[in-house]
Copies of this chain bind each other. A is one copy, B any other.
Amino acid sequence: MSSHSWFDIPRGSHFSLANIPFGIISSTSSTTPHVAIAIGNHALDLAIFAANNGFSALSTIQPHQAVFSQPTLNAFATLGRPIHAVVRKYIQSVFVKDTPYPEVLKTNSSLQKQAIFPLKEVQTHLPFKIGDYTDFYAGLNHAYNVGVLFRGPANALQPNYKHLPVGYHGRASSVVVSGTPIRRPNGQILENPAAEQKLPSLSPCRKLDIELELGAFVCRANRMGEPVPISKAQDSLFGVVLMNDWSARDVQAWEYVPLGPFNAKNFGTSISAWVVLADALEPFLVKGLENDTQILPYLQEKNAESVYDIKLQVDLKTSSGQSSTICRTSSRNLLWSFPQMLTHHSITGCPLQVGDLLGSGTISGLEPSERGSLLEQTANGKVSIKLSGEEERRFLEDGDEVTITGVCGSDDGALVGFGDCVGIIEPALKL
């Protein structure tokens, strides 16, 4: 597809004509949140677009146009991947230089004025009403690094790790959209974990960390008792966002036996605002990390290229205003794909619902500069990392702003990117 548009899409934009990600926006002139796509530095409000015959040349969508006036993507997602595909292709055809439908938008300056907003002027909202959020642990290098820290290299990975995508149920209510500040949590911690007598105190978290992850949204419900076979799992996946699974390491260390992390994770999880459709990401499918274990047939994929090669970057800006890139890696560093996670999740008959969020687990490459958490980068706070301007960090401090970015492709005119996923740390509440 030509990457040339009659519309001004700056070179290097994450939201090229090859992308067309979906999100939820409101603006001062249209204060009710509804569905939009991002293109270049702008958002096209699809509710306004639909109301003004924007979809006049796409008969398939006409009975369903009410989905674009919803405050979440759930109704649009429910229409299914074939519909997502035609809507995306149609919007691409409306924006392409030689559009067959110039009257829809290209020569319709009135609709352009009504429906297109600079991204700077819109407010983005959580894209889905999330029923359940599950966080997996498919980043093999991360799992290994953390295992080495806590159990040594011989037992770094648990025996189950390469047989199934390890995961746990997370807290859906605290998933927030990029830009939402994150308040440092209070929680029970051990000031002296090595002491014989374990005496916890209630304290602001002292080991506040990030986890660099992807999130995938579910677009098809399965009935309770009916697993989703691996051959159909792709059909249940709407699209992908960047995710920061903020983690309180000191709270986690004390609380997590025997039932797993709880308060260490439930105070906030940030996701990027624009959901990149699975279709847009298809050209960037690659083979994930090699699994040297024979996996059970229900997890075997027909196509070995099942994880995305998204260039990921984490930047940390301190309250001094100086910013440092603390991690660069690729999302190919996963042992399990989203279809495998989804199929494993449902193998018991667990009902997935439209809008459910699956987290990938922390993504780390092999090199120190590729580690997706401070836990790994600082060996659980034993060493510090250097930032620009003579600053250093073991864990996050108040005022720190963390920005995750992700982008696919190398052609500056046809990038498929995610924008960013940002959160700033506010001081803990005084109790």
Assess whether A224 is interfacial by the CB under 8 Å rule. Answer: yes
Q: Is the CB of A260 within 8 A of B259?
A: yes
**Interface digits, A285-320 against B, CB 8 Å rule (1 contact, 0 not)?**
000000000001110000000000000000000000
Closest-CB distance, A253 to chain B (whole angstroms):
10
Check A267/B173 contact, CB under 8 A, given A160-B200, A168-B262. Answer: no
Separation of A431 and B348 alpha carbons in the complex (Å) = 11
Residues of B within 8 A of A255 (CB): 160, 164, 166
Separation of A200 and B257 alpha carbons in the complex (Å) = 24
Residues of B within 8 A of A226 (CB): 429
Check A200/B259 contact, CB under 8 A, given A224-B268, A348-B266, A431-B298. Answer: no
**Interface digits, A246-257 against B, CB 8 Å rule (1 contact, 0 not)?**
001001001111
Residues of B within 8 A of A186 (CB): 227, 347-349
Assess whether A107 is interfacial by the CB under 8 Å rule. Answer: no
Check A171/B350 contact, CB under 8 A, given A160-B200, A259-B260, A263-B344. Answer: yes
Assess whether A176 is interfacial by the CB under 8 Å rule. Answer: yes
Closest-CB distance, A265 to chain B (whole angstroms):
8
Check A201/B296 contact, CB under 8 A, given A174-B351, A263-B345, A349-B185. Answer: yes
Assess whether A11 is interfacial by the CB under 8 Å rule. Answer: no
Residues of B within 8 A of A268 (CB): 224, 349
Q: Is the CB of B224 within 8 A of A350?
A: no
Binding site secondary structure of chain A: loop
Residues of B within 8 A of A345 (CB): 263, 266
Q: Is the CB of A131 within 8 A of B356?
A: no
Assess whether A158 is interfacial by the CB under 8 Å rule. Answer: yes
Closest-CB distance, A170 to chain B (whole angstroms):
6
For chain A, residues 114 to 152, give those with C-beta under 8 angstroms from any C-beta of chain B.
Answer: 131-132, 134, 137
Assess whether A321 is interfacial by the CB under 8 Å rule. Answer: no
| Residue from the list B166, B188, B266 in contact with A296, Cβ < 8 A | B188
On chain A, which size bracket covers the interface?
35 or more
Q: Is the CB of B352 within 8 A of A262?
A: no
Closest-CB distance, A182 to chain B (whole angstroms):
8
Assess whether A40 is interfacial by the CB under 8 Å rule. Answer: no
Closest-CB distance, A132 to chain B (whole angstroms):
5
Q: Select the residue from A164, A186, A187 with max chain B CB neighbours within 10 A.
A: A164
Nearest residue, chain B, Cβ from A222: B173
Separation of A159 and B257 alpha carbons in the complex (Å) = 9
Separation of A296 and B185 alpha carbons in the complex (Å) = 16
Assess whether A64 is interfacial by the CB under 8 Å rule. Answer: no
**Interface digits, A390-431 against B, CB 8 Å rule (1 contact, 0 not)?**
000000000000000000000000000000000000100101
Q: Is the CB of A173 within 8 A of B132?
A: yes
Closest 9 A/B residue pairs (Cβ): A260-B260, A185-B348, A267-B348, A183-B225, A168-B259, A266-B350, A159-B198, A169-B169, A259-B260
- Between A and B, 25 residue pairs with Cβ closer than 8 Å are A131-B173, A132-B132, A160-B188, A160-B200, A160-B254, A160-B257, A163-B198, A164-B255, A168-B262, A169-B262, A169-B266, A173-B350, A173-B356, A176-B224, A185-B349, A187-B348, A188-B296, A202-B298, A224-B268, A225-B267, A263-B345, A263-B347, A263-B348, A266-B345, A267-B349
Given contacts A166-B255, A174-B224, A298-B431, 19 further A-B contacts (CB under 8 A): A131-B172, A132-B132, A158-B258, A159-B198, A160-B200, A160-B257, A164-B188, A185-B347, A186-B227, A202-B298, A224-B268, A227-B431, A248-B348, A258-B260, A260-B260, A263-B344, A263-B350, A266-B350, A349-B429
